[in-house]
Structure 1
Amino acid sequence: MAGRAGALAGWVALAAVGLISLAPLAALLAQPGQWPQSYALGVLHFTLWQAALSALISVGLAIPLSAALVHRRFAGKQVLLALLGAPFLLPVVVAVFGVLAVWGRSGWVASLLGLPIDIYGLPGLLLVHVFFNLPLATRLILQGWALVPPEHLRLCAQLGLGWRGQWRVLGAPLLRASLPGALLVVFLFSVTSFAAALILGGGPGATTVELAIYQALRLEFNLGGAARLALLQLAICRVVGILALRFARPVGFGAGLALADISLPRARWLVWGDRAILVLAAAFLMLPLLAIVLNGLAGLPDMPAAVWAALARSLGVALGSGALALCAAVALAALLLRLHSRTARGVEAGVMLSLAASPFVLGTGLFILLNPVIAPARLALLLTGLINAVLILPILLRLFIPALAQIAADYGRLSAMCGLTGAARLRHVTLPLLARPLGLGMGLAVALSMGDLGVITLFAAPDSGTLPMVMQRLMGAYRGNAAAGAGLVLVSATLALFYVFDRLGARYGHRI
């Protein structure tokens, strides 16, 4: 019975994801209106141009950074590797504030040089996107390096291959396999970036598609124009998402014996180049984080009381969204493992493409559906949590599918022999072994929902927003100190939640 109940839960979760994804699309297609052709073309051009530049710069810088991390052994290497994960958990609005504090008109760099620096528009968007995507691209390339058997490195060292030989034998094949996927993933994230465009973009020459959707809905109430722009955004994301799934393939260097780490010989000028790259990358990532902490501490006394109410709303949305995403992801993962391999791959690819659906596309469709029936502002927090849960599903599935498959392979037969089925097997076998990915998944889902500044801006009234929305409004009102304090509260709560759930999973779980 429990098996049937689990299968039913999986089908219900799949149907819910399909409904939430397809109903807004149907609403967008049915909405009457004309394409704002000249305006849409300009917005589309800027969106694709800034995303392409962000991808090229981020991946271009990630190549030497990943090579330096692979070839160099130094004190603090693990700290730097951990730092590469920090931007992923950092709320975008807080990261934008940190970048402005360092690179803005009155930022640290401008004060040091004695020159005014204007980073609004394209330069600011590129800075923020590189801040977020450089660590991501570096991680993607490092995953390829991790698949290189240590024996290959030992053989290169024994043969005395110089940097040209190392590049021909290892570097070039690795990059040919990993770069297309990395470029497309970074491009997709840059296309769907809203908070950075809202704060740093704007104006006729620096408006992205998502910012144009926001302006059409909230400023002009042009439902037809918003629907057409959302369809344009959806088409871009779907194409890029399909290409990313097509090109993001593992590197085939063969199997190894997991020998000790072997460093490749490097010319002296390459060694100094590696050191310079590591120092510059660490400074680029750490300075905005340091600015967030220092300015936030100074701005805590200036925070309005609205910050604490907004924090409570953010916590409620994040915890609800995380719990919903976790339940749906586990049910879907268990269902996919029951299905035929080809069917499971097709269903998983369809769910994965929901990552390519911008929250603004889903939010716009839901706004159009609900507006004739109920004021969308009354459901702002509920809809925000729901859409955030759907959009984190692809990442959670990548955590749970391999874990559940490994549990079934290692303990399935033994559980059957012991008569453990249904709820008893779930309690004594599955949950303890799945606790680690459950904790990590809940931490990721809650952290990403805490920092969301997307869907909430479409629905929430001025006095009912989440903490990122309050912080953005404080920045728009030139209350920098109050915004800095709110940013520190937001990032502290986000990192604390991630740490708590991750540690709970590690404490109560067992290694698979």
Structure 2
Amino acid sequence: MLTGSEQRWRFAWGIAVLTGIFLFVGAAVAALLSWDTGALPSRFFTAYTWRILQFTLLQALLSTFLSVVLAAPVAMALARRPAFPGRIWIIRLMAVPMGLPVLIGALGLIGIWGRQGMVNSALVKLGMEQPVSIYGLSGILLAHVFFNLPLAARLLLAALERLSPEYWLLSSSLGMRPFSVFRLIEWPAIRRVLPGVAGLIFMLCVTSFTLVLVLGGGPAATTLEVAIYQALRFDFDPPRAIALASLQIGTTALILGAMMLAPGPGDGGVTAGRAMRRLDGVSSPARAWDGLMIITSTLFLAMPLASIFVAGLKADLWALVTSAAFLRAAWTSFAIAFPAAVLTILVSLAIIGARQAIADMRRPGRIMTWLSAVLGATSFLVLLVPPVVLGTGWFLILRTFGNVASFAAILVGLINMLMALPFVMRVLAPAVESHRRQTARLATSLGLSGKRRLWRIDLPVLARPILTAMSFAMVLSLGDLGAVALFGSSDLTTLPWLVYSRLASYRNNDADGLALLLGIICLVLTMLGTAGQRRQRHG
């Protein structure tokens, strides 16, 4: 139990953080809504605006459908083949795209599927006149499947592995055919988590920015976020940007509302505690099909990653590392990423602490219960108001004070903090709650509270998840292009912006080398953040 003083301090810090986040987001939204509102209706009902909205929803719907439909057989194959050679490494490979900077993934896909890529070169040798296009709708769909198929496969695999082992024993004793196993066991498990998985991927595709910016290929393949960026960066048309941003907020709000109405995944049923043993799929055709699904999906994910490595090695890495442009961009990136990561940790701990203070109240009441739910949902505001929309709102606010570039670094850092907040909360909240359950009685019996409890009990245990969350927040900030896209200039050049500028000026060799260097930096940070976890788990 927390002392009265601890409850008050944690509650106060949580309310301060909640107020700051709502003011930051609310000011951006208010700036959008208050700018030349008389011209907005005509901006809403234009053929251009509705074409952009239709394409945004179309590419998100197709990307979600393809990701889920292709992920389902991969997840079922992995669930049926627990002894498949290298299975654990294949599952780990599926986590790489989720932590990979989007711009690097896009370059890897260009290396495989681009006009001069491996696939098109092979097709040309076979005599095909029209190679696969990586740009436009086809390229966007391909990139979204690359990033979202592994996410869907991992979530569906987890749902299948939660099923009771008795289901498989019973299906074997009844001699169920493969289709019956799918219809009566696998599909019900997938169906329980499918709405949440599809909703998450749909939201990620609707708010996709970097992939569409790099692979969109022109006005015919532009989403709302990219159109907002173009309206401000190239055309400087604030009313059009505001209309598009309002549509973006309304669209994401509807999607989030639908996701909240989706049923929960439920449980896997009652189990007697037997070890999982799959007795289905023993026929040769079934083994061949599962092997084909696993190997194909692995190659689909591994080839762009290998392309990044091979193409990057062809560049003059030493010249790039020692160049003034790289050093300046690296310094700027770290100068933004480190404070943003520290702020993300502090904000997350303040939210978690405030929710703990409310939970420790004897009679929290309806208002406090509602406030706890609001604190928990605060981290997902970035899904409702994406970075480009936040940047647009604050661009309109800051331009009245003079040169926006002078505020750009601080603004990008705050937006990156909000971007990382949902992921950091997922790392820290379970760790803090588990630690609290294990040590609350001990700390109370020893009379430890405040700083003494923090240094002697909390930090020694929570240092590892805090380091993991901080490294992940830094990686997200280092690889972000969306927040800096509106403000990138000679005065504010981050590593992703440097890669994109080299790509835009057709200096592909330099872009590949810079992408490899950025990938190595992110990989090192990830390894530092997770160092020692295997030893702690098995030691």
Gaps of 5+ in 2: 359-363
- Give RMSD over aligned pairs: 2.0
Q: 2:12 aligns with which of 8, 12, 15?
A: 8
Query: What do the CA deviations read for 1:283-329 (whole angstroms, capped 9, x no partner)?
Result: 10000000000000111346354122212211222212111111101
Which is greater in Rg? 2
Q: Counterparts of 1:77-476 in structure 2 under 5 Å?
A: 77-114=87-124, 115=128, 116-247=131-262, 249-266=264-281, 267-301=283-317, 303=320, 305-339=324-358, 340=364, 341-476=369-504
User: Partners in 2 of 1:437 and 1:355 — Cα distance?
Assistant: 24
2:361 corresponds to: none
Structure 1 residue 398 displacement after superposition: 2.6
Structure 1 residue 443 displacement after superposition: 2.2
AA aligned to 1:375 is N
Structure 1 residue 3 displacement after superposition: 4.4
User: Partners in 2 of 1:81 and 1:505 — Cα distance?
Assistant: 18
Is the partner of 1:308 in helix, strand or coil? Answer: helix
* Equivalent residues of 1:103, 1:109 under 8 A apart: yes
Query: What do the CA deviations read for 1:321-379 (whole angstroms, capped 9, x no partner)?
Result: 11111110111011122224454224323443433321111111111111101322122
User: Partners in 2 of 1:284 and 1:494 — Cα distance?
Assistant: 22
Q: Counterparts of 1:11-50 in structure 2 under 5 Å?
A: 11-32=15-36, 33-34=39-40, 35=43, 37-50=46-59
User: Partners in 2 of 1:388 and 1:243 — Cα distance?
Assistant: 26
Is the partner of 2:308 in helix, strand or coil? Answer: helix
Is the partner of 1:259 in helix, strand or coil? Answer: coil
Greater mean deviation of Cα atoms: 112-121 or 207-216: 112-121
Is the partner of 1:256 in helix, strand or coil? Answer: coil
Is the partner of 2:316 in helix, strand or coil? Answer: helix
Rate the CA distance shift 1:255–1:370 in 2: closer, same or farther, 3 A: farther
Structure 1 residue 505 displacement after superposition: 6.9
User: Partners in 2 of 1:424 and 1:136 — Cα distance?
Assistant: 41
Is the partner of 1:371 in helix, strand or coil? Answer: helix
* Equivalent residues of 1:437, 1:505 under 8 A apart: no
User: Partners in 1 of 2:23 and 2:221 — Cα distance?
Assistant: 34
Is the partner of 1:118 in helix, strand or coil? Answer: coil
Q: TM-score normalized by structure 1?
A: 0.95
Query: What do the CA deviations read for 1:174-209 (whole angstroms, capped 9, x no partner)?
Result: 122111111111111111111111111142311111
Structure 1 residue 257 displacement after superposition: 4.9
Rate the CA distance shift 1:510–1:7 in 2: closer, same or farther, 3 A: farther
Structure 1 residue 99 displacement after superposition: 0.3
Identity of matched residues, %: 35
User: Partners in 2 of 1:496 and 1:4 — Cα distance?
Assistant: 40
Structure 1 residue 423 displacement after superposition: 1.2
Query: What do the CA deviations read for 1:67-94 (whole angstroms, capped 9, x no partner)?
Result: 0110012121111000001001111111
AA aligned to 1:479 is R
* Equivalent residues of 1:46, 1:208 under 8 A apart: yes
User: Partners in 2 of 1:258 and 1:366 — Cα distance?
Assistant: 55
Q: TM-score normalized by structure 2?
A: 0.90
User: Partners in 2 of 1:497 and 1:85 — Cα distance?
Assistant: 15
Greater mean deviation of Cα atoms: 462-471 or 240-249: 240-249
* Equivalent residues of 1:125, 1:200 under 8 A apart: yes
Rate the CA distance shift 1:308–1:245 in 2: closer, same or farther, 3 A: farther
User: Partners in 2 of 1:336 and 1:330 — Cα distance?
Assistant: 10
* Equivalent residues of 2:152, 2:197 under 8 A apart: yes
Rate the CA distance shift 1:500–1:198 in 2: closer, same or farther, 3 A: same
AA aligned to 1:13 is V
Task: Say whether 1:495 aligns with 2:523.
Answer: yes
Query: What do the CA deviations read for 1:49-71 (whole angstroms, capped 9, x no partner)?
Result: 01111000001111001001100
AA aligned to 1:332 is I
Greater mean deviation of Cα atoms: 413-422 or 392-401: 392-401
Query: What do the CA deviations read for 1:371-421 (whole angstroms, capped 9, x no partner)?
Result: 101322122222111111112212222333332222222211121011111
User: Partners in 1 of 2:409 and 2:279 — Cα distance?
Assistant: 53
Structure 1 residue 258 displacement after superposition: 4.5
Residue correspondences, number = 510
* Equivalent residues of 2:7, 2:357 under 8 A apart: no
* Equivalent residues of 2:160, 2:190 under 8 A apart: no
AA aligned to 2:213 is L
1:59 corresponds to: 68
* Equivalent residues of 1:433, 1:510 under 8 A apart: no
AA aligned to 1:126 is L
User: Partners in 1 of 2:504 and 2:488 — Cα distance?
Assistant: 17
Rate the CA distance shift 1:425–1:158 in 2: closer, same or farther, 3 A: farther
Structure 1 residue 118 displacement after superposition: 2.4
Is the partner of 2:32 in helix, strand or coil? Answer: helix
User: Partners in 1 of 2:534 and 2:392 — Cα distance?
Assistant: 39
* Equivalent residues of 2:328, 2:493 under 8 A apart: no
AA aligned to 2:172 is A
Is the partner of 1:459 in helix, strand or coil? Answer: coil
Query: What do the CA deviations read for 1:210-235 (whole angstroms, capped 9, x no partner)?
Result: 11101110111111111111111111
